[in-house]
Chain A
Amino acid sequence: MAVFRFTVNGEAREVDTSPDRPLLEVLREDLQLTGPKFGCGEGQCRACTVLLDGAPALSCITPVRSAAGKRITTIEGLAQGGKLHPVQQAFVEEGAMQCGYCTPGMILRTVALLERTPAPTRAQILEALNGSLCRCNGYPRIVAAVEFAARLRRSAVQAQEGSHAAE
């Protein structure tokens, strides 16, 4: 047992636990954040995706010790003040979910992709999301949602730049 401190969705958290426990289980069982999902336990489906210091991480194969001191974002931390993140908005508007179990992981992967590549081509989307499994096979709608999210995000950024320029 050891004490680990990190920031989860902007809040400082502390857990006293075994260092080898998967971060996924600490989030779900100790911190009651059930947004990240168990899908395989071997990093092969990405349902457990969270952002660690902004980069996508497979929380099912990440021991809690290696998250110490980091910034963790789960799906619960994405909407701000009740307002959906543009990627969440796009998934809603494009109907990019059937059962919805893979959705949190898909959304966080997309957030990370668009940070890096604001205007991805279809090929880049397929490449970035390839390891994220959806057994409902709702892939076409997810691709549509990512493309729409990119447009939403760009117009949000432009609006922000516009308002800065006006100041």
Chain B
Amino acid sequence: MSPELSAVLRRKIDEIAARYPKREAALLPILHLVQREVGFISSDEERFVAQALGLKPIKVREVVTFYTMLLRRPVGKYHLQVCSNLSCSLLGAGPLLDYLKQKLGIEVGETTADGRFTLSTVECLGGCEQAPCMMVNSDYHGFLDRDKIDRILEGLV
């Protein structure tokens, strides 16, 4: 982490921590922030956040490894998170996932060689009325079918 980024993050961390009666409560929003800036949370970031909040690093790792959205390894530029829960499965999420795997040439959990796409499955996104749906980074896409997937991927450079 560059010293500039470190300084910027520290200021933001103090801002966020001030919203809570106890500083440690800000851990989750701070981890979201760090992940947005750095891309993922490695042991360096865990140490950084721990130090900023006055926690032991293991306590930060406890939290990072508990929550699905917090990533410990880098992902591609576009993280394709396909819902694999019931309503989406009922409307064909399974075959669409296979289509994505075949189209991108990767398995679930992997990243394309050019670093553009990472494919994951997730549980209920709360977009069930537009099933099957997926989240690309933080954007929701629903009513998916092969054509729509093609169009979405084309738009992601």
Q: Do A and B bind?
A: no
